[in-house]
Structure 1
Amino acid sequence: MATPKHLISGSIADESLLAWSINEKFEYALPFYRQSKRLSAIGIDIPRSTLSTLTIKCAEQCRPLYELLKDTIKTGSVINADETRVQVLKEKGRKAQDKSWMWVFLGGAAGKKAVVFQYETGRSHEIPYKFLKEYKGWLQTDDYEAYNTALKKLRDDGNKSIRHVLCWAHARRYFYKYWEMSKAPEAKQILELIKKLLNLKI
Structure 2
Amino acid sequence: YGPRTERSKLPRVKVAEPATPEQIQETRRARAKAKTETPTLKIEHKVPAAERRCTVCGRTDLTTIGSGKSSFVNEYVSSQLVREEHVQEVLRCPCGSCVITAPGAPKVVGKGQYGASFLAHLAVAKCADHLPIYRIEKELARKGSPVARSTMNELLHRCATIVEPISKRLLDLICTRDVVLADETRLPMRNVPKGKSKTGFVWTFGAPDELGGVDIAYQFANSRSGATPRKLLEGTSGILLVDGYSGYNDIEKVSSRRRAACYAHVRRYFFDSLKTAPIAQEALDLVTALYRVEHEAKEARFDESSHL
Q: Same fold (TM over 0.5)?
A: yes
SS of residue paired to 1:114:
strand
> Which letter maps to 1:173?
R
Distance 1:94 1:77, change over 3 A: farther
Q: Does 1:188 align with 2:281?
A: yes
Candidates 97, 119, 125, aligned match of 2:226: 125
Runs of 4+ in 1 over 6 A off after TM superposition: none
Candidates 184, 195, 200, aligned match of 1:100: 200
CA distance in 2, matches of 1:42, 1:13: 17
Distance 1:130 1:95, change over 3 A: farther
Contact preservation (8 Å) 1:139, 1:164: yes
Distance 1:138 1:60, change over 3 A: same
CA distance in 2, matches of 1:100, 1:9: 33
> Which letter maps to 2:223?
G
> Identity of aligned pairs, percent?
29
Distance 1:95 1:146, change over 3 A: farther
Greater relative CO (CA pairs within 8 A, separation 6+): 1
CA distance in 2, matches of 1:18, 1:120: 25
CA distance in 2, matches of 1:127, 1:99: 16
SS of residue paired to 1:98:
strand
Structure 1 spans left out of the alignment, 5+ residues = none
Alignment RMSD (CA, Å): 2.1
Q: Does 1:176 align with 2:271?
A: yes
> Which letter maps to 2:289?
K
**TM-score between the two structures when normalised by the length of structure 1:** 0.85
Candidates 150, 158, 168, aligned match of 1:67: 168
SS of residue paired to 1:85:
strand
**TM-score between the two structures when normalised by the length of structure 2:** 0.57
SS of residue paired to 1:137:
strand
SS of residue paired to 1:146:
helix
Structure 2 spans left out of the alignment, 5+ residues = 1-101, 296-308
Q: How does 1:5-24 map to 2 (within 5 A)?
A: 5-24=106-125
> Which letter maps to 2:118?
L
> Which letter maps to 1:172?
R
> Which letter maps to 2:203?
W
SS of residue paired to 1:86:
strand
Task: State the 1:192 CA deviation.
Answer: 1.1
Matching residue of 1:55: 156
Task: State the 1:33 CA deviation.
Answer: 1.3
Task: State the 1:95 CA deviation.
Answer: 5.3
Task: State the 1:93 CA deviation.
Answer: 4.2
Contact preservation (8 Å) 1:79, 1:106: yes
Task: State the 1:62 CA deviation.
Answer: 0.6
How many residues in Structure 1 have an aligned counterpart in Structure 2?
192
Distance 1:94 1:121, change over 3 A: farther
CA distance in 2, matches of 1:4, 1:83: 42
> Which letter maps to 1:164?
R
Distance 1:66 1:190, change over 3 A: same
Query: Whose helix proportion is higher, 1 or 2?
Result: 1
Q: Does 1:77 align with 2:170?
A: no
SS of residue paired to 1:10:
coil
> Which letter maps to 1:195?
T
SS of residue paired to 2:155:
helix
Task: State the 1:2 CA deviation.
Answer: 4.0
Deviations 1:19-60 (A, max 9, x none): 211222122222111111111122222111111111011101
CA distance in 1, matches of 2:244, 2:195: 29
> Which letter maps to 1:193?
L
Matching residue of 2:30: none
Distance 1:3 1:113, change over 3 A: farther
CA distance in 1, matches of 2:238, 2:106: 40
Distance 1:76 1:183, change over 3 A: same
